[in-house]
Structure 1
Amino acid sequence: MDWRLIPEERIGGPTAMALDEVAAEAVAEGGPATVRLYRWTPSTVSLGYGNDADIVDWRYCAEHAIDVTRRQTGGGAIYHDGFGDVAYSIVAPASEFPGDVTECYRQLLKPVFEAFEAVGTEVGFADAESGTLWGPLCYLLGLDPAHDLVGPDGRKIAGNAQYRTSEAIVQHGSLTFESDPAAHLGPFVDPPVSTAEFADRVCGLTDITAGTLDRSTFVDRLTDALAGWADAERGSWSDSERERAEELVAEKYGHDRWVRSRTDPTG
């Protein structure tokens, strides 16, 4: 199986989700599997597939230049900070990985754990489920030992999600470099959770390392870990893939029919 690595790129939320779908289409057509990193630019709210769009404070997002899109994956909504969030995707043939979801997460998260270890941080799977603080938000849902990662004090530091097509598996995740509770809660309508309660549930790498780690170093370690795990060659998107992503942004991931109403105009 051939893999390509696409180093961290600054892209808008709708484009980020469109490129996951493009990479899955490439796999289905016999093209390379993909590992990639991206930086949400501008900061973005991604709704989970089943989220009600009414939880978004649309005026706040417009005033603060925050994009809003909807993921193909389930789970709760996430505010992806342009600096504080480090995002990755792994897109590969579904036949190459276990059908059991938990075991599949275990395999695909190996390079993520390697990256955390490389910067000297103790991160592991949540060892038990926990209570939900506010159901609409991913980071305030109860911890799931299958795919939620926590720091040494048990606070959530990363969320991961998967979806499958008949030929491909897509896993993407948000790793918190720096947590900003007020910024995370701001884009949502009347969250019944204080910033202190959010901070008690969520941490970032800057909390664990007392601010001694810079973002670029962590991104470099994650890039190395993903490339080594997949034995991937550094690559890029083809012109046709970028064109296809632009189509998907216009027709789906940036369109109100999908974002607000969960109606897929391409399906």
Structure 2
Amino acid sequence: MNDLADREWRLIRDEPREGAVQMSLEEIAAQTALEDDLRTVRVYSWEPSTLSLGYRQDADTVDWAYCEHEGIDVTRRQTGGGGIYHDRYADISYTIVAPAEEVPGDLMDCYELFCEPVLEGLREMGVDADFAAVEQASIYQPSCYLRDINPAHDVVAPASADAEAKKISGNAQYRQRDVVIQHGSISYDLEPERHVGVFETDLEPETFTDRVTSVREQAGIGREQAVETLATALGEWCDADESTWRETELEAARNLADRKFGADAWVRNREVLEADGE
């Protein structure tokens, strides 16, 4: 635990939800942190599988016909970087939400703090994981997992392999209404055909497997055990109480999903629809 454990935190082991709602819940959690002095850590998955675009990513990089054919949703994150294909089974995601005044103001210092439970969770799973020791050049910019590997925020395994280590987790952070929100994606398993198929490119699936590894490949444990291990690490990191979303939060998230994260205007052009009555 750390100094943050002196505050009030909740751990939410979230159920699978569509991508637009998952993104909306982060903003709702930010409101709760400010208005109710309640911070959030959670683990979650995506149903259906979803491609989340980076904030400034060009929508033309998406193979929309492929996504529609495969039943893959598309949303857009508040954070930058390339798109991430979040498979319903192969991806494990997490969120940490806390007031900005309580965490380091320096972005890299805050990354290091918030990634502590992620790295601990991976190690408890039996994965030799750490921040990348060396940079690796970009392969395909529109894909988060195929961009350059940056020691500042990319987690690789096995860490002892140095330049031969492969990416296993990507993490990103943004600040909104004086709250810091960090979310990340951990590869439990690999779905290389879909990871490259969602993009308008002719990359071979092997391009993905040459750069990315997974918990299953590194440790061989079951997905349920991996999720439980990550959730435990997050909860112990801040001494969080087990909890669930309030009905008012879920309703607010669904409304926000309708006018923002699930709206074509946002996904294609970063335009937010006005709320009713505004």
Same fold by TM-score, threshold 0.5 exceeded?
A: yes
User: Among the aligned pairs, what percent are the same residue?
Assistant: 44
1:171 equivalent to 2:182? Answer yes
Which residue in the other structure is 2:4 paired with? none
TM-score (norm 2): 0.92
Structure 2: how far apart are the matches of 1:146 and 1:30? Answer: 32
The aligned residue for residue 208 of structure 1 is 218
CA deviations on 1:101-152 (whole Å, 9 max, x unpaired) are 1111111111111111112210010112221101111001101111100001
Is there any run of 5+ residues in structure 1 with no aligned partner, and where? none
**Aligned residue number for residue 38 of structure 1:** 44
How do 1:143-182 and structure 2 match up within 5 A? Answer: 143-152=149-158, 153=161, 154-182=165-193
Query: Quick one: which of 202, 205, 208 aligns to 1:195?
Result: 205
CA distance in 2, matches of 1:157, 1:259: 26
* Distance (Å, rounded) in 1 between the aligned partners of 2:250 and 2:268: 24
TM-score (norm 1): 0.96
What residue is the counterpart of 2:10 in the other structure?
Answer: 4
**How far, CA to CA, are the matches of 1:77 and 1:70 in structure 2?**
8
- Do structure 1's residue 90 and structure 2's residue 100 form an aligned pair? no
Q: Aligned pair 1:261/2:234, yes or no?
A: no
Q: CA deviation at 1:239?
A: 1.4
- Give the equivalent residue in structure 1 for 2:3: none
**1:48 and 2:54 equivalent?**
yes
For 1:203, the aligned partner's letter is T
Deviation at 1:265, TM superposition (A): 2.7
Q: How far has the Cα of 1:218 moved from its partner? A: 0.8
Deviation at 1:229, TM superposition (A): 0.6
Asked if the contact 1:27/1:167 (under 8 Å) is kept, the reply is: no
Rounded Cα–Cα distance in structure 2 between residues aligned with 1:53 and 1:28: 33
- 1:240 maps to 248
How many Å apart are 1:62 and its aligned residue? 1.1
Q: For the residues of structure 1 that align with 2:104 and 2:265, how far apart are their CA atoms?
A: 34
Q: How many residues align?
A: 264
Query: Whole-Å Cα distance in 1 between the matches of residues 13 and 146 of structure 2?
Result: 30
- Please state whether the residue corresponding to 2:233 is helix, strand or coil: helix
Deviation at 1:243, TM superposition (A): 1.0
Query: Amino acid of the residue matched to residue 209 of structure 2?
Result: A
